[in-house]
Amino acid sequence: MNASQVQKFLLVIYLCAQLASCVALASDRISQQELVAQIEAGTAPLILDVRTVEEYEAGHIPGAINIHFRELEERLDEIPGEPLVVYCERGIRAKIAERTLRDAGISSVIHLEGDISKWRQNNLPLERKPLQPLSTGSQLPESLTERWVVSAPEAKQLIEQGATLLDTRKLALTRLRGAIYVNWKQFSPEDAVTRGQLLSQDDELTQRLQSFGISHDKPVVVFANPPGGWGEDGRIVWMLRTLGHSQAVMVDGGFEALLDASVPVQSGHSQSAAPGDFVVARNTTWEIKRDQLKAQLDDDNVVVIDTREAREFAGKTPYGEQRGGHVPGAIHLYFKDFLGQDGRLLPTNEIYQRLETADITQDTQIVVYCTGGIRSGWLASVLVTLGYSVKNYAGSMWEWSAAPADSYPLERL
């Protein structure tokens, strides 16, 4: 065999090796149906969710363990063996995790086709971390990942431990000591159509949030005046969670409840804040965009809730909507109907009963909206705390009603 033949022979061997490698990689996949069947039969391999803790706790594939893809190298000892199925939201982080695991010597790594975004679209079962009551002492902040609403005594404890305190009441003669006034509009565009949305520039949002003293390692306590407000406290909490802060909470009963809990007060001047270190890292778990909502309107497992007043749901436009009515198929649940006369949430069993009457269960995907995502952001905060899967459509009616009627229709009573 001459030199030319040897080169051709080696080239063939190389190409065959590359082809075999590609086939192997292509075969390292498992379909959603296959994994469901294995879970039901009790034969599923280890399932690894490489998303954030917040995403995992909001809903994960049954039996999956959670290790963030950037922590894999340091936590390999937590993986008991192989094979293992890896997934994230849409596949990008899972592919990075695959490389990390293979480089560490774990060769049998299988990627779930479609990841968890497809899993949700197929209405396949999800597990959520059970809600835990707030503990006491130094462990309190660690229990806030799924608690978006806290009682006034719990809020007082957080404040005493150094939480950042945000007051969403615009006009107030009396403010709590250390409270910083904040308005949801400071984090949204000024345009009339998109003003319900969050700013799209992460660096701008980061700068503004840091100016209010928001830091990664400090809980944020937000309060309002529930009987007379628009749910501004819930909107701020929803915003912070969506932008990546895992310990933002609103106070049940708001300002009056905090007074009853003997939180110190001062004059009506807002405090200035020392700059925080929080950096935006968006989490899409609790957010939905206009076209995503449109695509899900025919999904039987999705319930769309209009949280506005009855007159708005029927077709009135008192707050600047360009067209009147409600999103097709939406049900009406006014956000203040979940409050008692004292501005505090109704008992939990009453809230569950109201939702069950509307055929809403823990397995239902809920979408909430209002005029600009404020009232619906409040209800989202309440429902997430109660263990429901909720997405807030922040663009809401300001955006939907400004779009072409033939593509984004509205129903009227």
Residue 67 lies in a domain: yes
Statement to judge: residues 293 and 210 lie in one domain: no
| pLDDT in the model for residue 132 | 44
Distance between start and end Cα atoms, the chain: 86
Statement to judge: residues 172 and 246 lie in one domain: yes
Give the 3-state secondary structure of 187-243: HCCCCCCCCCCCCCCHHHHHHHHHHCCCCCCCCEEEECCCCCCCCHHHHHHHHHHHC
Residue 65 lies in a domain: yes
Residue in 152, 168, 385 with CA at minimum distance from that of residue 261: 152
Contacts for 30 with CB less than 8 Å, ≥ 6 apart: 85, 110, 111, 112, 113
Statement to judge: residues 234 and 271 lie in one domain: yes
Domain boundary among 64, 90, 121: 121
Statement to judge: residues 272 and 167 lie in one domain: yes
CB 230 within 8 A of CB 290: no
| pLDDT in the model for residue 268 | 64
Statement to judge: residues 358 and 256 lie in one domain: no
Residue 407 lies in a domain: no
Domain count for the chain, please give it: 3
Statement to judge: residues 274 and 145 lie in one domain: yes
Cα separation, 351 vs 355, in Å, equals 6
| pLDDT in the model for residue 321 | 96
Residue 127 lies in a domain: no
Statement to judge: residues 350 and 291 lie in one domain: yes
CATH for 234: 3.40.250.10
| pLDDT in the model for residue 87 | 95
Q: Which residue has the tokens 């992460």?
A: 202
Residue 2 lies in a domain: no
Q: Please state, as a whole number, how many other Cβ atoms lie within 10 Å of the Cβ of residue 408.
A: 18
Q: Which tokens is 350 given?
A: 């009453």
Statement to judge: residues 248 and 194 lie in one domain: yes
Residue 413 lies in a domain: no
Domain boundary among 121, 146, 164: 121
Statement to judge: residues 141 and 274 lie in one domain: yes
- The pLDDT averaged over each successive group of 10 residues in the chain (413 residues) is 54 45 54 93 92 79 92 90 89 90 92 91 78 44 80 92 94 88 96 97 97 94 93 98 96 95 81 89 96 96 97 97 98 96 90 91 92 98 94 98 97 94
Residue 405 lies in a domain: no
315: exposed, middle or buried (Cβ count in 10 Å: 0-12, 13-18, 19+): middle
Residue 9 lies in a domain: no
Statement to judge: residues 363 and 263 lie in one domain: no
Statement to judge: residues 205 and 338 lie in one domain: no
Domain boundary among 264, 282, 300: 282
Statement to judge: residues 196 and 290 lie in one domain: no
* Residue 44 domain boundaries: 31-121
